[in-house]
Structure 1
Amino acid sequence: MKNKCMWSVIALLLFVVAPSVQAQVVARIDVRSGASKRVNTMVSTSLRTTRSPMYDSLRLVEVRNDQRIPVPFQLYGNTLHWILDGTTERDTTRIYELIKGAPLMASSYMQVKDTAGTLLLREGARKLLQYNYQTVEPPAGIDKMYRRSGFIHPLWAPDGQVITNIHPKGHWHHMGIWNPWTHTSFKGNETDFWNLQKKEGTVRFKGIVSRMQGPVVAGFVVLHDHIAFTGGTETVAISEEWAVRAYRAGTDTTRFIWDFYDYLNCADTAGITFLQYRYGGGFGLRTNAAWTANNSEVLTSEGKTRANADSTRARWIKITGRTEKGKAGILVMNFPGNYDSPQPVRVWPENSERGEIMMNYSPTKMKPWTLQYGKAYALYYRVVSFMNDLTTEEIEHMWQDYIEPPEVTVYWN
Structure 2
Amino acid sequence: MHRLAILSLALFPFLASAGDGEWTVTVSAGDHDRVATPLSVELPEEFVVGTGTIYLVPLDDPDAAPIPTQGLEGDSHWLVWVLDRRLPADTSRAYRILRRKEEATAQPAMRCSESESAITVTSGERSVLRYVKTPTEEAAKNDPVYTRTGYIHPLMTPSGKTVTGDYAPDHPHQHAIFNAWTKTTFEGRPINFWDQQKGHARISYTGTGETISGPVFAQFSVTHRHEDLTAPDHPRPVLEETWLTRVYRTEGNYYLFDIRTAQRCATESPLVIEQYHYGGMAIRGTSAWFDPDKNAEPPATFLTASGLGRIEGNHSRENWVALSGLLDGGTAGVAMFSHPANFRAPQWVRLHPTKPYFVFTPQVEEGFTIAPDKSYTGQYRYVAYDGETDPEFLESIWNDYAHPPKTRIDH
TM-score past 0.5 threshold: yes
Distance 1:182 1:258 in 2: 26
Distance 1:139 1:71 in 2: 43
2, 9, 22: which one aligns with 1:14: 9
Cα 1:9/1:143, change in 2 over 3 Å: closer
Are 2:310 and 1:306 aligned? yes
Distance 1:140 1:10 in 2: 38
What letter is aligned with 2:213? Q
Aligned position for 1:291: 289
Task: Verify the 8 A CA contact 2:3 2:210 in the aligned structure 1.
Answer: no
Aligned position for 2:145: 145
Are 2:59 and 1:60 aligned? no
How far 1:376 moved relative to its partner?
A: 1.9
How far 1:206 moved relative to its partner?
A: 0.5
Cα 1:32/1:156, change in 2 over 3 Å: same
How far 1:375 moved relative to its partner?
A: 1.6
**1:121-160 to 2 correspondence within 5 Å?**
121-136=121-136, 142-160=142-160
How far 1:103 moved relative to its partner?
A: 4.1
Task: Verify the 8 A CA contact 1:130 1:153 in the aligned structure 2.
Answer: yes
How far 1:260 moved relative to its partner?
A: 0.8
Q: Deviations over 1:82-121 (max 9, x none)?
A: 1102322222222212234414512111011123301111
Distance 1:114 1:50 in 2: 33
Task: Verify the 8 A CA contact 1:13 1:103 in the aligned structure 2.
Answer: no
What letter is aligned with 1:11? I
Task: Verify the 8 A CA contact 1:225 1:236 in the aligned structure 2.
Answer: yes
Unaligned runs of 5+ in 1: 1-5, 351-355
Identity %: 28
**1:268-287 to 2 correspondence within 5 Å?**
268-281=267-280, 283-287=281-285
Q: Which moved more, 1:231-240 or 1:130-139?
A: 130-139
**1:13-412 to 2 correspondence within 5 Å?**
13-15=8-10, 17=12, 25-47=21-43, 49-62=44-57, 63-67=59-63, 69-77=65-73, 78-105=77-104, 106-136=106-136, 142-229=142-229, 230-231=231-232, 233-249=234-250, 252-281=251-280, 283-292=281-290, 293-350=297-354, 356-412=355-411
Q: Deviations over 1:238-269 (max 9, x none)?
A: 000011000000xx320000001111101111
Task: Verify the 8 A CA contact 2:17 2:98 in the aligned structure 1.
Answer: no
Task: Verify the 8 A CA contact 1:12 1:59 in the aligned structure 2.
Answer: no
Distance 2:138 2:61 in 1: 60
Unaligned runs of 5+ in 2: 291-296
Task: Verify the 8 A CA contact 1:129 1:154 in the aligned structure 2.
Answer: yes
What SS is found at the alignment partner of 2:220? strand
Cα 1:76/1:8, change in 2 over 3 Å: farther
Count, aligned residues? 398
Q: Which moved more, 1:122-131 or 1:132-141?
A: 132-141
Task: Verify the 8 A CA contact 1:26 1:100 in the aligned structure 2.
Answer: no
How far 1:171 moved relative to its partner?
A: 1.6
How far 1:294 moved relative to its partner?
A: 4.5
Cα 1:19/1:102, change in 2 over 3 Å: closer
